[in-house]
Amino acid sequence: MIPNQWYAILESKEVPKNRPVGVTRMGEKLVAWRDRRGVVTVMADKCPHRGVALSAGKPVGDCIQCPFHGFEYDLSGACTLVPANGRAAEPPKALHVKTYPTREEHDFIYIWWGEPQASYPPVPWFESIPETMVYTTLRDHWANHYARAIENQLDVVHLPFIHHNTIGRGNRTLVNGPIAREESHWEGDHLINLWVYNEVDRGQKPKKPSELPEPTRRPFLQFRFGNLWQNWIADDIRIVIAFAPIDDENTLLYIRYYHSVRVPVLRQLFGWMGALANLVIERQDRRVVVTQRPPRPDLGIGEILIQGDHPIVLYRKIRRDLTQRTHHG
């Protein structure tokens, strides 16, 4: 995982107010819980006393209580009570649980994965999605590195093959471009915009990105680091995926189908139909993508890439730059 990024790791509805939730993300056991105001905290799921999972405990006021011996830890991870020592005793400073900077926005729970910052950038999102839109979520587990799953959503070459009977119908195998560009809207922002120009092969040569006209329409696809992708189907229809890293070989996809139908019953029906279509399409992808080796992609891993892979090359360059910048800085 790229350090010093915000990652969407859970949906808000997955963390109730009355009990902690244990998950594996970023290769670590984490616990998410809410204080008395409903504010969510994410920390390591391990009591430093005897190694018990705090997710088996319970919230007590603005603390989480270990189920084994009743030790209590506050929102910063500091131990505030060791019952065996009495309420008047100050707990040892060593009793501290690693806690992650956490934000809850857009019905996602984000954590900052990296070094503490004096100030944090905004969490990644797509400003073009109006607040009036509603969504239906589908969750699906992929047995591969999250970067492989992301690259699949930037791959315009595979459409007529994997999706020959769904979104790839029409046999548009020839890939013009595509045009892929990086933008930044704030310090630390890395947004990839992608325009697709696939067409039927009639013997013509594919056009290079430089030979295509300057885009005048919105992007077809967008990816924003750390782990959010958008398929901008129409102004009132979007698909958003959060690629939540479980570990180096497992990813949980949160696939949201956004639309503007707000009438009861019709809203649920429209959302269900969109989610079902997403399930069919992404399962076509998953069957193939989970076979890719090596598990984690990078520049120089031996793949022989072509012009149509330009978005993937751009993603890998940004990914490598961000990783090296952190390690050298």
Encode the chain (329 residues) as per-residue pLDDT tens digits: 899 999 999 999 999 999 999 999 999 999 999 999 999 999 999 999 999 999 999 999 999 999 999 999 999 999 999 999 999 999 999 999 999 999 999 999 999 999 999 999 999 999 999 999 999 999 999 999 999 999 999 999 999 999 999 999 999 999 999 999 999 999 999 999 999 999 999 999 999 999 999 999 999 999 999 999 999 999 999 999 999 999 999 999 999 999 999 899 999 999 999 999 999 999 999 999 999 999 999 999 999 999 999 999 999 999 999 998 865 44
Do residues 175 and 211 lie in contact, with contact meaning Cβ atoms separated by under 8 Å?
no
CB 54 within 8 A of CB 47: yes
**d(C-alpha 89, C-alpha 164), whole Å:** 68
Token pair for residue 320? 């490598």
Distance in angstroms (rounded) separating the CA atoms of residues 135 and 13: 13
Residue ranges with strand state E in the chain: 5-11, 21-25, 28-34, 40-44, 58-60, 63-65, 72-73, 79-81, 99-100, 102-105, 108-113, 134-142, 174-183, 191-199, 221-224, 228-234, 237-247, 250-259
Q: Phi and psi (nearest 5°) for 54?
A: -65, -20
Q: Is 92 left (phi over 0), alpha (psi -120 to 50) or beta?
A: beta
pLDDT at 329: 41
CATH number of 5-113, picked from 2.102.10.10, 2.60.120.10, 3.90.1150.10, 3.40.190.80: 2.102.10.10
3-state secondary structure of 317: helix
∠ CA 192-198-202, rounded to 5°? 155
pLDDT of the residue at 325: 82
5 neighbors 113 (Cβ within 8 angstroms): yes
State the number of CA atoms in the 13 A half-sphere of 191 facing the CB. 16
Per domain, the residue ranges of the chain are 5-113, 134-328
Cβ burial, residue 120 (10 Å; 0-12/13-18/19+): middle
54 CB contacts (<8 Å, ≥6 apart)?
20, 22, 31, 33, 43, 45, 46, 47, 64, 66, 73, 97
Check whether domain 134-328 has CATH 3.40.50.2300, yes or no: no
Q: Two tokens at 179?
A: 């045009």
**Which residues lie closer than 8 Å to 140 by C-beta, 6 or more apart?**
252, 253, 255, 279, 282, 283, 286
CB 9 within 8 A of CB 244: yes
